[in-house]
Chains A and B, each alone.
Chain A
Amino acid sequence: MNAAVLTRQLNRLFAWKVRGIRCIEIIGVLLVAAMIFSVYLAKAAAAREGAEIADLERQIGESGQRVRLLKAEVARLEQPGRLEALSRGAGLGPVEMKRQASEDNLANLAPIPEPQPVVIVAPTAPEPAPAAEAEPAALSTGEGAR
């Protein structure tokens, strides 16, 4: 019974016409038109984004090339042989073992408390000698004390 009512309803819907054209067909055409338009929009947007992506990828590629070039240049400039030649030219050299120490050894290398009394004694000893110039003597004693 219910089915019969539904069928009738459907039939009426299909039979509903506006100026001789079935409404259901008009609706269908409108829907198809809307769909075609939305597909067009989506495709246009995708194409634009695709172009943008391609452009970015090209830029990435170019930057990558440039990065590679710069890295190679850095590697050339930083190669140990070249650095050593440059630093030797500048009067530098490997640090001698005597000048290397770890933090723990600092106390052994230079016992700090002991020289202090020497510092006090040192200026008193040379004081009588430099009668003419006071300043250089003070400097030299300072160096010596260290």
Chain B
Amino acid sequence: MSVHDPHAWERPAPRAPRPTVYGLRRLLPSWRWLGEAMWWVEHAFGRARADARPDEDTRVRIFVIASAFSIVFCGLALGAAHAALLTPKAGIGSAANPNAVARADIVDRNGALMATNITHYGLYIDPREIWDADLAAQQIKRALPRVSTSKLRRILAGDRRLIVLPGLTPQEKSAVHALALGGVTFEPEDRRVYPLDSSARHVLGVADSGGQGLTGAELAFNADIRAAGERGESFPLSIDLRVQGVLENELGAAASAVGAKGAVGVVVNANTGEVLGMASWPTTDSLNRVTSAHYEMGSVFKTFTIATSIDTGRSDMNTMFDASQPYMIGNRRITDFHATNKVLSLEEVYLHSSNIGTSRMAVELGPQVMRDYFTKLGLLDAAPIELHESARPRRPTNWEDSTRASMSFGYGIMITPLQMAAATVSLVNGGIFRPLSLRRGGTGAEGHRVVSPETSQDIRDLMRANVLRGSGKSANAQGLRVGGKTGSANKLVNGRYDPRHGVGSFAAVFPADGPADAQRYVVFVLIDEPAQGSQLGGAVAAPVVGRVADRIAGFLGVQRVADPVVPAVTQ
């Protein structure tokens, strides 16, 4: 036996210390097989030579090593090919859209910008890099007057890099940057900017610095705006900025002229339910009165009562109503503001705004029918629109005769101006109630039928007649066939209806003639507590509607038609 005897290698040498590999055997029994396998491989060549087959073993080794390298190189080659051929495609595809922003620009229906993201800069100062703190403070204060002096000095006296002022506009940044001060750095931050200032601010709402909408359209369309931003597109609203501008200017002028507490204006496309303009005055007030303020609307409700009465077949244009003396419901005495003391036709009830006439209708309708129709007109629920601010109405607690009589001329129920607009839209567009929308193109919802097309026609005729011969004369924009109903209500002050606190409103449609599916626009204007002059809707709100219609007709493509001469003769 020699040391080269492979069969002897398996056995430990008689007195020699065990090789280190054998040490493993002592450590863990489970490693024993591993050690033995290595030992077997290690001495395979020796064994083969001992068995007189040395070439066979060499070939096996070469083959094993060659296959191992082949596998590794094949893997590398495949990886390289994959990286070379497939990755670029994925790389290009996944490249972020260069125009992507956190929130899309909001534009009006014609693409005019209403809200955008502009990179602002946070101003940071590291006082350790400032040489002359006093001089730096002076210079920065001069370049950036709105910075707080005390904060600036405190940071300059400190020993850490701190933010002095967030939200520097690019101009402010370049002004400070031009000072060339060491230790003054800027960090970009995305800010939501509303270039229109106060215009349309209630519709737009605001988004926070984290890119989430908080109010208005920013909140209502938050997900859509963010999705559009990722695609690098802008998000269009249904608002027409020209209409919005006219509405705001006319409303503001009228409201400040009469010293009103507030004012509201809405312009809606009657066919699609798109809101083209929505103004709430004063614009300094964060409350959107269009969606969130409740008013007892007054006589504009007579349109709904009369529509219900006509649609249920209880009356038609020739039905007569006795308004010769006050109408008594129990102990309650209902009188007319413009008392005529005679028997009136339906049209006269509408034109003279007879409380007696509509009260008679409401009592005759009964609670269930009136409730059904008011529900269908959306008067008992929040106005359907995307805005989260749309408030629920204050509904009556009972539907007794007296309550229904009050509701027939707009008392005892407080609704939002938007509900008023939606209900008016459904009465003039052929009788379909559609959700209002701030999306360009509307919601596309089918809507539900409220009244028949014939009733809708009658209502349009009545509204037009009211502008030609009734209380809404001052809304008659030349050639635009404006139809409308005035509303004047006293407000409940300390439990009593106080005639000094009034609300004047005007719900109008133009053009009021033409076929049922003609293009129409509903304008609703409400002046809240005018302090000077008349509080009647015909005096404060109707002229605003007339001027607004006159000015926006061109934008909306409404053709003017020569006014009929007949009404002038009947006058």
Contacts and interface: CB of A to CB of B under 8 A. Distances in A.
B244 A80 contact: yes
Interface in A53-84: 57, 60-61, 64-65, 68-69, 71-76, 78-81, 83-84
A139 interface: no
Contacts of A107: none
Interface string B93-121: 00000110000010000001110111100
B249 A65 contact: no
Given A69-B170, A76-B197, A80-B241, 17 more contacts: A57-B98, A60-B98, A68-B105, A68-B118, A71-B113, A72-B113, A72-B195, A79-B195, A79-B199, A80-B199, A80-B249, A83-B245, A97-B477, A97-B478, A97-B550, A98-B478, A100-B560
Interface of B: 98-99, 105, 112-114, 116-119, 170, 193, 195-197, 199, 241-242, 244-246, 248-249, 477-479, 550-551, 560
B560 A97 contact: yes
Contact of B113 (A65, A75, A80, A83): A75
Specify which of A69, A72, A80 lies most central, judged by the most chain B CB atoms within 10 Å of its CB: A80
B249 A68 contact: no
Given A71-B113, A72-B116, A100-B560, A79 B196 contact: yes
A73 B170 CA distance: 12
Given A57-B98, A60-B98, A64-B99, A84 B245 contact: yes
A96 to B, nearest CB: 9
Contacts of B112: 75, 78
Contacts, number: 65
A74 B196 CA distance: 10
B550 A94 contact: yes
A80 B195 contact: no
Contacts of A83: 245
A74 B119 contact: no
Given A79-B245, A80-B246, A100-B560, A71 B199 contact: no
A84 B118 CA distance: 27
Contacts of B116: 68, 71-72, 75
A78 B197 CA distance: 12
Interface size class of A (residues with CB under 8 A): 20 to 34
Nearest to B241: A80
Nearest to B198: A81
A61 B98 contact: yes
Nearest to B240: A80
A100 B199 CA distance: 29
A76 B196 contact: yes
Contacts of B249: 80-81, 84
Contacts of B479: 97
Nearest to B245: A80
A66 B478 CA distance: 45
Given A80-B242, A84-B245, A97-B550, A72 B197 contact: no
B113 A69 contact: no
- In this complex, the member of A61, A72, A74, A94 whose beta carbon has the largest number of chain B beta carbons within 10 angstroms is A72
B9 to A, nearest CB: 38
Contacts of A64: 98-99
Contacts of B197: 76, 79
